[in-house]
Amino acid sequence: MLAACHPLPAAAVTLFAAALAAAAGRDLAGGAAAVGAVAAGQLSVGWSNDRADLRRDRAVGRRDKPLVAGTVRPAAVTGAAGLALLLCVPLSLAGGLLAGTVHLVGVAAAWGYNLWLKRTAASWLPYALAFGLLPAFVTLGLPGAPWPPLWLTAAAALLGAGAHFANVLPDIADDLATGVAGLPQRLGVRCSAALAALLVLGSAAALVVGPPGRVTAYGWGLLAGTAALLLLASRRPAGRLPFLAVLAVAGADVLLLVVQLRPA
């Protein structure tokens, strides 16, 4: 069951939410509920993704998938996805109606990707929307329900879109063979790898130059390191390296956010 939930991206997004909650000043109870909501949402999305892809994964012999390998039953994954989604609702609304609605819209977008949009030219949109709304989910749970700064929303949305392009690179051939023609599949491996790099670099730039004040040495270093890492990853565009590079950049972004959003 753990392997079927896409554990690496699920953990990365949950840790990102935890860092946002801590940096924005959410109290322990509110922060725990927010992190729990994100974790439940990510589990539901990951399990529903593998369940929705079962027929296509079988067709291309994806023995790395637990459902294809037979190590977990489809009914168990379906039930787990539904239960995680049910848990996500009260955990999301614990931070307030507006905050909860924002997060549930993001989760619904991710489910929409799994069930339909991944096969369309708008495949990038659920990623951009879900990631872009994550900072708002965190800040709207604060007293006064403030919206996050625009630069933070833009950075999160760009990172999400870039993660989409990087994540599907190894599977483009299999996707096309089974009728999945999202935007990366239509553009091809090299073009999608280049676009992923530009989107992630744009995300880092928004985080560095967006906030008021002078750019710190860490900020300039983040931009330079992001560019170098993405350039290195682009040399193997069809492998997992681009997506791992995106996760590494996201981790560096989190460190910058902790400093920038830390309450005075």
Q: Classify residue 141 by burial, with Cβ atoms within 10 Å: 0-12, 13-18, 19+.
A: buried
Rounded Cα gap, residues 130 and 109, in angstroms: 6
pLDDT (tens digit, 9 = 90+) per residue, 64-98? 899 999 999 999 999 999 999 999 999 999 999 99
- Residue 62 φ/ψ, nearest 5 degrees: -75, 80
Rounded Cα gap, residues 106 and 38, in angstroms: 10
Q: Classify residue 200 by burial, with Cβ atoms within 10 Å: 0-12, 13-18, 19+.
A: buried
Q: Among the listed ranges 82-86, 126-130, 169-173, 216-220, which one has the minimum average pLDDT value? A: 216-220
Model pLDDT, residue 249: 81
pLDDT (tens digit, 9 = 90+) per residue, 96-110? 999 999 999 999 999
Q: Among the listed ranges 18-32, 154-168, 213-227, which one has the minimum average pLDDT value? A: 213-227
Alpha-helical (H) ranges within 169-261 are: 172-177, 183-187, 189-209, 217-233, 241-260
CA angle 177, 183, 186 (to 5 degrees): 50
| Mean pLDDT calculated for residue range 52-70 | 92
Which range of residues forms the domain containing residue 80? 3-260
| Mean pLDDT calculated for residue range 113-121 | 96
Percent of the chain at pLDDT > 90 equals 64
| Mean pLDDT calculated for residue range 136-156 | 94
Overall domain count for the chain: 1
Between 216 and 209, the higher pLDDT residue: 209
| Stated pTM of the model | 0.91
